[in-house]
Structure 1
Amino acid sequence: MFRILLTALLLWLPLSAWAFSVTFINPGTRLEPYWNDAANGMRAAARSLGIELEVVYAGRDPLRQIELTREVAGRPEERRPDYLLLSVEKGSFAEQMRIAESAGVPVFLAYNGLRPEERARHGAPREHFRELLGSLIPVAETAGRLTAEALLEEARRRGLYGNDGKIHMLAISGDRSTDSSIRRNRAMQAVVAANSDLVLDQIVHADWRRDLGKLKASLLFERYPQATLLWAGNDLIAFGAMEALREQGRTPGVDVLFSAINTSDEAMHRRIRGELTALAGGHFMAGGWSLVLLYDYHHGVDFADTEGVEMQRPMFTLFTPELARRYLDRFGEPVPDIDFTRYSRHLNPERDGYSFDFKELLEP
């Protein structure tokens, strides 16, 4: 009789009664729209699933990421989180894992996973580092391909060919070393290689920054006046490049077509106005989806049994002006009200697997 009453009580308890804690070491800054969107997406998932979430910011400093990992792992046991959520950035992975491993704190990787050389040296999750549970990363190539193809399609439609009969494009990527940046760049360059009428005049790097995007674009526009396309590794770089173009007396979306990646409000409004010709995003929810996986793992449903420990999933949507308006309506609040319990296999045993389709989140 006692067991029956206990079972009934446990089923009646709200999700908050099952709460566990996660600390996300955010590699970005509080001023970056993308990393704020990522944090707010995670807060929405945490609120829905009853997870105690802490977000700390490393300010784009890999040494600070290591310091924060040491600080969190060194807390008294009662204040230490049940899980750490990390994003692999600029060589910080191994030291962060050593710290977490020595403290016995399980780690999950989101947004950026293991580079091939890191996997070769340290093994896959649950091998050398036993506390490394797994990783979930967006298929970054999708963003590079979708935006480059959309730029090329519109340039062809408008007939933006130079005197040599070619369409000329400039590219300003995020950085040289981050896995997501490398893969976005590679996919963009594959589109160039596959289309004989498209020429990539030059690719440079702006470290994801608006000011550097403006500086690099100003030099590129002077060096390559025939260029009519600019592919950008993120939205901030694109905004900076647009400022540079305007200072030269030209108009974004008319004289030069721009692409961007991310889902900031500014990017959505620029897509609606036509200043951005191509915009891809949705991958900021990788952290929210990761919390769903950790929720299930914590409750005895191990994602490794069906999904493996290293997951790459398509998460990018190419935004039309209509989808951009829908996004602003749906995600207008800092922490959107989304029911993440429907994605949990623990709470929905009939589910065969996990769906990480961002377009689902845009539906009513």
Structure 2
Amino acid sequence: MTYSRRNILQIGAGAALIGGFGFRAAYAALPTLKKKDSYKVGFAQTESNNPWRLAQTQSMKDEAAKRGWQLVYTDAAGSAAKQVADVRSMIAQKVDVILLSPREEKPLIPAVMEAKKAGIPMILVDRNVDQSLAKAGEDYAAFIGSDFIKEGNMAAEVLTKAMGGKAKLIELQGTTGSSPANDRKTGFMDYIKAYPGMEIIASQSGDFARDKGRQVFETLYQAHPEATALYSHNDEMTMGAIAAMEAAGKVPGKDLIIATIDGTKDAAQAILDGKVLVCVECNPKFGPAAFAAIAKMADGEKLAPRLVNTDRVFTKENVAAYLPEAF
């Protein structure tokens, strides 16, 4: 079927055309959750190849066990296509609610819209989807997560001050198309634009992975030996980069000043060891907040579309106190 301009304008009163994703009912009701003693909760994880993800998953399992609720857990192994299939499987299993950590902003839109169509409430955790295609409070109940733009901004502030406003930076970006990668870059760039001496001379995705981060950094640093600082979108890539620096006979924290994000135990220790300047926290322990939000929905409360975690900034001045709770 084809649509003329007139057809689309007529449809526009009750639906929105969304690229290749089909039609989204603009005024369809947000699914609700009935009050019950126990719930069957789906958690569609994006991957399990790093400490942050493992800590997040364990937090979900712990909270489900604490409440006596059933958790249907899937691991997309880094594949957006599999994650869409995982959500479809949860819909088929008639879970009561779905918690989704979308790998990328656009490819997970079909999963979000299919859950809505099936009448199953969905909460996005730690990563969001493209708000021009699916909106919190309209197409899914809420997004619970960090302010990734603020994280990038805070990392930039500490690094810029330490460098006196002058640095030649290598940037290790997270997964291409993911909300944390997009926003952490935006937040960092927004801050340093007021400092012409802060120059990003090389930037590439390390996919939030330690091995990929090491390989990408090694290549970028060989091409840009004049680099004086590193901004990495997560601690796993940072630790890979540190390994590459040390293998090349360089001293992290001296030859290159490092800003990173997450708050892993490895990064906290690296701050204590003088290898990392600053680590901005991104807390992975979403279980309590996510399950509390489900309970509120069951009580008939409308969730705020965006529930933002409070993240801390760790430097050598305060990281020792944090280390015992680091993941």
Q: Name the CA distance, whole Å, in 1 between partners of 2:50 and 2:268.
A: 15
Q: 1:315 matched to which residue of 2?
A: 310
Q: CA deviation at 1:18?
A: 3.3
Q: 2:319 matched to which residue of 1?
A: 324
Normalised TM-score (structure 2): 0.80
SS at match of 1:199: strand
Q: 2:39 matched to which residue of 1?
A: 20
SS at match of 1:211: helix
Amino acid aligned to 2:319 = A
Larger relative helix fraction? 1
Q: CA deviation at 1:268?
A: 1.8
Q: 1:359 matched to which residue of 2?
A: none
Normalised TM-score (structure 1): 0.73
1:42 pairs with 2:60: yes
Q: Name the CA distance, whole Å, in 1 between partners of 2:56 and 2:121.
A: 21
Amino acid aligned to 1:24 = F
SS at match of 1:41: helix
Q: CA deviation at 1:84?
A: 0.5
Gapped regions of structure 2 (runs ≥ 5): 1-35
SS at match of 2:175: coil
Amino acid aligned to 1:250 = K
Count of aligned pairs between the two proteins? 291
Q: CA deviation at 1:193?
A: 0.9
- The correspondence for 1:112, drawn from 127, 145, 149, is 127
Amino acid aligned to 2:245 = L
Q: CA deviation at 1:26?
A: 0.6
1:81 pairs with 2:95: yes
- After superposing on structure 2, the runs of 4+ consecutive aligned residues of structure 1 that deviate more than 6 Å are none
Cα 1:41/1:271, change in 2 over 3 Å: farther
Q: CA deviation at 1:154?
A: 2.1
Q: 2:297 matched to which residue of 1?
A: 297
User: How is 1:44-63 mapped onto 2 (pairs within 5 angstroms)?
Assistant: 44-63=62-81
SS at match of 1:261: strand
Note the aligned Cα RMSD (angstroms): 2.4
Q: Name the CA distance, whole Å, in 1 between partners of 2:237 and 2:314.
A: 18
Amino acid aligned to 2:42 = T
1:138/1:286 contact within 8 Å kept: no
Q: Name the CA distance, whole Å, in 2 between partners of 1:274 and 1:204.
A: 25
SS at match of 1:201: strand
Q: CA deviation at 1:126?
A: 5.3
Q: 2:197 matched to which residue of 1?
A: 197
Q: CA deviation at 1:287?
A: 5.0
Q: 2:267 matched to which residue of 1?
A: 267
Q: 2:110 matched to which residue of 1?
A: 95
- The correspondence for 1:137, drawn from 134, 142, 145, is 145
